[in-house]
Structure formats: structure tokens, C-alpha cells
Chains A and B, each alone.
Chain A
Amino acid sequence: MLSVDRFPTVVFIAALFSAIATGLPAKAGSGQLNIYSATDTSAMQQVLDAFQAKYPEVRLVYTEYNTRELHEALLGGTISDADIVISSSVDLQVDLVNRGMANSIDVKMDPAIPRWAQWRSELFGFTFEPVVTVYNKKAFETFEFPATRSALALAIRDNPEFFENATGTYDIALSGVGYLFAAQDMEKGYQFWRLVESFGRAGAETFCCTSHVLDKVAKGELLVGYNVIGSYAAERMRLDPRLAIAAFTDYTLVMSRSAFVHRSAPNPDTAELFIEYLLSREGQRKITQSSALISILEAVEGKSERMTIFGNLEAMRPIKFSPGLIGYLDRLKRAQLLADWQDALGSNGME
């Protein structure tokens, strides 16, 4: 009797709650939101516009930085009004979060967002970006581009004239994300150093940014660009048929661009709203469909098409957000790695 009596009450209360929940007005963002980001403005523009359209009250101020400079500016206190910090260098991001610079936020997380792309409810990865090698399509018409690092190293050794002054990669001393990729490569095994040595022998050039490498490879001034950000490369390749992408089959690193709310954010509520938007299905769809970036979520419309260009999904090795990344930022470790890198690359690599 009792349970029969109680049942409609429960239903009623549940209905009341859901009414309250749905009846609540959506959080309204307002004021100025300062985003400091180590991401090409062009890549973020579409997403920012979509956010702006949804929350017209918010005034977005987007400042673009290089990954390392951003890190140093935040640590040094040059930047004091950051609401949101975005960077592709997840090691530097983890370092900032580890120093207590991030706010813990309670966002409605899509359970499909992988565990490796988040840390402490503070740092959230919102893109899925394979780290790839680009090459000049015309130059490799006659022989197939090597599928692994060892094969590439071997090809460079066997064809010194062909690769002479034709390879390029990040200047890892300059670029935070370049250092991250090198550190991760080094962790994977010896073939990386063999490759760097062959780059050194071939007189490889180093660059600050993915876009510079892409420019030169497209023009044919360089034939191979190693460890460039796949999303940028894919976007460029779509516009420029002279470029081709190779995702190595031994392993392909995957980087996730990450964002956090600064602990002393002037506008923390809107900042939280922005993170929530980035991670929302709507935001993820926007990222995949109308920017160079690729969604961290698997089942977002358009992602699989975007991913076909990389092929070889089994070899993808995401860089996990964890304190272990800080280990490579160790002063002595970094000095040693840079020294080794320069040794291997040789003085002719450094301009």
C-alpha cells in the first residue's frame, strides 16, 4: 500500500526537479575574457566566433604567443590578467598547473573525453592532433616516402645528395612544443637520435613554428619537415596540393591542445563557460568542422574524414597529461637534452 502511495510522489518530485533544472536560465557569460594562447589565431578564429555568437555579452581578447614565451610570461608575471591559458605544449601547461596556477572547475564533462587528456579537473585537452612529417609531394614522386623513423634515417644516409639541406624540424630550444615532441621521441627509443644525427649530416634547418616548415616544404625549398603539428599540416595540405603528410608507422605522437582557467582570472565564471564550450559537443563539432584543429572526441561529425589523411590510427600514441612531463623540463635535464640535440644535429644545423 505504502509503496503504491509513495510512487506518484517520487515521480512528482522528480518531475519538479527536472522542471527546475530545465527551467533554470543558461549561465550568461559577460564581461571581458582574456585568452592567452599558443595557437595560431587563424586556427582558433572559427571557434572564438562561434562562442562569441552564443554569448554576445562577452568581449573576447585573444593574445597569441609562442609556447615557451607564454610559459615564461606567465611564470614571470608579465601576464597578470589571464582568464584562459591555451597551449599546445602540454608539458608547460602541466608545469603551470602543478605550480597551482589553475583553478579547479566543475564542468559537465563528456565521458567520451579520454582520461589522458585531462588532469586534476583543471587542465583540459580539447583537440586531437597527431604529430607528423610533411614532405614535398613532387620530390617523392619517384620513390615512396619512408614509413618509419629508421627507414627515413636510412634513406637520408643512403641518399646524401638528395637530402642535402632539404630537411627541417623544430628548433627545440626555441619552441616549447618542439621540445615536447623531441622529449617524447627520446623516451620512445634510440631511432630518434639516429634520425637527428642523419638530419645533422644532411644539414637540417630548424624553425620556430610549424607554419614556417610548411611554407618551405610547399615551395620545395625543403623536402622533408619532421615533427610538425598534424592539424596545421592537414589544413595546409587541403589548400596546397604540393604538400603531403606521413604519419610514421613505428609510432605517431598525438598532442592535445589544452586549456585551463587561471587561478587569478578576473572573469572566472565566463572563463569556466568558455572551457565548457570548448569541451561541449557543439564546441567540438565547431572545432572539427570549421577550423584546422581536430576534436578530442571520437564520435564528432567530420572527425573520421579529417583523420583519414593520417591513416595508420593504430600507431597513435597520445601524450598523457601527467606530472611525468615536468621531468623533461628539469633545468639540468633540459640543458643536457639540448646539448645532446645540438651535438647530434651539428653546428651546421644552427643558423
Chain B
Amino acid sequence: MNPEPGSTASYSLRRRLTFAMMTGFLLILSILAVALWNYAVAAANRSFDLLLEGSAITILGRVSSNANGITVDFPPAALEMLGLAEDDRVFYRIFTAEGETLTGEADLPGPEVDITNDETQYFDARYSGTLVRFVRQRKIVAIDDQTLPVLVQVGQTRIARDVHRNALFLRGMMVLGVLAVAGIFFARMSINLALKPLSGIVTDIESRDPSDLRELKASPPREIASLIAAINGFMRRLDASKDNAQNFIADVAHQIRTSLSALNGQLELASEPGKPEELQRRIGSAGLQAKKTIALTNQLLAHAMVIHRADNQSKSAVDLVDLVTTAIENHVKQRASTGIEFEFVRKDALNNPVILGDAVSLQEALRNLISNVEAHAGDRPCLRFTIERSGTGNRVFLIVEDDGPGIPHGQRANALDRFSSFGNSLGSGLGLAIVKAVMDAHDGTVTLGDGANGGLRVELSFPC
């Protein structure tokens, strides 16, 4: 009936967590990669821009003036410095603010926006077939009575800084990658660690004997303690129910054996020679015993039926008024004349109270209550059915009262147990137990009390 355990596991917790972790890591990694790239670009530019600026400063330092105008004693070290970036080509231009080239490459490209103050300006521009990083600086040179701004522009191809940028980026990504792999690894480890108690429980349960219903010994982590507690609770109930079933079977066996032995004894006695009236009396006894045995067997089967239906039957709407009416009709139909006087009281003027339940089981319960009255309440007993609602309206009570001898207070506690027959003859001891079982199956209760006319009062309480 149940599919294989493997096939019921429609997903793996471990795989799901790993997937979630990896997705998270990938997301973080992508964001960090963008940030890292920007950082690498900025860092590479920063270090090599310093080199460029140093070069420009060195050149500017050699720009001055004499009687003939502006002089430049070009420092080769300024280019040597840039040669630290081994494979990069270098360019420079020294010029006046008017654009007159003093020395260097006259055709170096300018920035999109020219600087007009003394700040250093960096920009990229294409020159000599490649992208070149330029720095531009200016300085004021005094000639005679006036000052003249002189600019120096130094450029360097981007090979070394691109290599530096890529190296920074790759190194960073490598660290991030290692972290991500380690993270996923540790995540998997912790998932395994977290799931370990579960597999312990699985082994515990699998290795058990079917009859072994002791509590699981696992000391579970807090997160699954409730699961273990639920399993243990279930095992306890299963254990109790198994005990009940065993006791019931033992009881049934005992009862039937006793009853049949008695019947057998009566029949043997009847077959011995004796006076006719004596024989008549013995056969009468044997007949009575046979009736009791039949009644007992019926009741046992009824009880088993009720229990079985409680486990397996789905519930439907049951009208309590119909239920009581049908029960009375059934009782009357089966007998030529009934000694019972029925009374039916409806205390609420509302619609017929309807509960969710199993009509067959409920009918059986009422049948037993009526039979009890028949068996115990003497001549022409009176049986009163009362239906009423609780004050809050969330329960419906079906009360059955008779005017018989009732059950003494001290015995009421056990009256609902099986085979707790008292009083006389035909009681099987199962009637009230069946009622109790039916009410249990309907989440209802049975309360025994004193009837208004001195007899037994049975209150069935249903949720609604």
C-alpha cells in the first residue's frame, strides 16, 4: 500500500541546501567580482598614475626660463622611470597654454576638457594605434614681468597596468573561489552533521523487532525533538492499543469458552435421566445459556464492528432526531410487543441537530442502550430520550434516562469497561463499552448519572 521509502522522498534536503548555498555563493561571487574588477582597475590606475605623475613632475622641474624665454632641460630619468613598466611605450609633450609645442610629440591628443588650474589631470586617449594613459600638469613660468603657463603631458601605454589589474582581479577571484568552495564544503558537512541523528533513528527503528515498542533512545537536537516525541507518543499508543487488543482477545476467549462450557454442562445435565419436570427445567436452563452465548457473541461482533468502523469509516452528517426515531422503530419492529415505554424530548426548538458521524455505529450504540434498559429495568420500564444543546452551542447532548435500578455510584467508574456486567442474567458486559467506543470514535464523551426517575442517566455529548 505504501510506496517504497526511496520513492516517497521526492527531494533531498542535502541537495536542496547545497543548491541554495551554491546559488547564494554565485550571487555573492558575481557581485563581488564586479566590485573586485572596479577595485582592480582603480588600484592599477592608482599605482601607475603615480608613476606617470612622478614623471610629469620631474619634467616640470626642469622647465624654467632665461633671458631667451622658456627653457627645458629634459630629464631622461623621467622616461627611465616609466620604463619600470617594461613593455610600455612612452610619450610626452611640453607646450604653452596657447598650444605651442616646446618639445616632444606635437600631435599628442588632449583631454576632452582642458584643465585651467594647477591640478593634475588624467585621461585615456588613443594614440599611436593604441589606448594610452596620459597625465597633464601645468606650471607657471615667469618671464620678465609676465608669467606664462607651461603644460607637460606624459603618456604611457596600458600594458603593465592592464597586467597588474588582471593579476589583482584574478588573485582576488581565486581567493573568493576558494572561499566559496570551502563554504559549500562546510555547508555540506554541517548538513550531514545535522542529519546524523535522523539516520541514527532510522537504524534504531529498522533494527527493531516488530513487537519492540520501547521509546527511541536517540538524544535528538532541539529542532527534531518534537518529531521524536511524536514518534515515541505514537509508539506508546500503539503499545497500549496492542495490549488492549491482546487483553480483549484474551477476555473474549475466556468469555466464550466459559459460556460454551456452561452450555455444554447444561446440555450434559439435560441428557441425564430424570423426572420430566426436572428435564424440562434443565432444557430451559440450557436454552437460556444458549441465548446468553448468542447475545454475547452478537455483542462481541458488534463491539468489533464498532471499533473497526471507528478506524476506517469516513463520517457523514447524521440527524440525531432521525437517529433516535430509527432506533426506537427498529426496536419495536423486532418484537411483537415491547415492554418499554419511550419518551422523546427535544429541548431546543431549533432545526434538527446534525452531527458529523457514522450512523451505523451510532445506531448500534443506541440499540445497546435500549437493550440495557430491557435487560435491567424490570417490567414496563420507561425510557426517555432528550436532545439539547450546550449553552455555548458547540456541543449537542443526547440523554437517555430510564427508571430502572441504575448503577450504584461506586461501580460507575468501571461500568464503561468491557465485561463489567452486573446485576443479572442476559447482560454481556459489553453494552456500555460499545457505547463508549462509539463516542470515542466521534470525539464525544459518555457520562453516567442519576436519571430524573431514579434510573440510570446516560449523557452522550457530541461536538458540533
Contact = CB atoms under 8 A, between A and B. Distances in A.
Contacts of A108: none
Given A98-B89, A323-B90, A324-B83, A332 B76 contact: no
Interface string B176-201: 00000000000000000000000000
B74 A323 contact: no
A323 B82 contact: yes
Contacts of A182: none
Interface residues of A, number: 21
B112 interface: no
Contact of B129 (A100, A120, A187, A322): A100
A120 B90 CA distance: 12
A323 B87 contact: no
A98 B105 CA distance: 12
Interface string B71-89: 1111111111111001111
B102 A332 contact: yes
B90 A98 contact: yes
B80 A324 contact: yes
Contact of A330 (B74, B81, B87, B90): B74
B110 to A, nearest CB: 19
B103 interface: yes
B80 A322 contact: yes
A338 interface: no
Nearest to B78: A327
Given A100-B129, A327-B80, A336 B89 contact: no
A120 B73 contact: no
A326 interface: yes
A327 B55 CA distance: 12
A289 to B, nearest CB: 33
A333 B79 CA distance: 13
B367 to A, nearest CB: 79
A179 to B, nearest CB: 13
Contact of B104 (A97, A99, A330): A330
A323 B79 contact: yes
A99 B80 contact: no
B83 A323 contact: yes
A336 B103 CA distance: 13
B79 A331 contact: no
A325 interface: yes
Given A100-B89, A323-B90, A324-B83, A332 B77 contact: no
Interface string A308-333: 00000000000000111111101111
Contacts of A323: 79-80, 82-83, 88-90
Contacts of B73: 332-333, 336
Contacts of B75: 327
A241 to B, nearest CB: 40
Given A333-B72, A333-B74, 5 more contacts: A98-B90, A100-B89, A323-B79, A323-B80, A330-B72
7 contacts: A98-B89, A120-B86, A322-B80, A324-B77, A324-B83, A330-B76, A333-B74
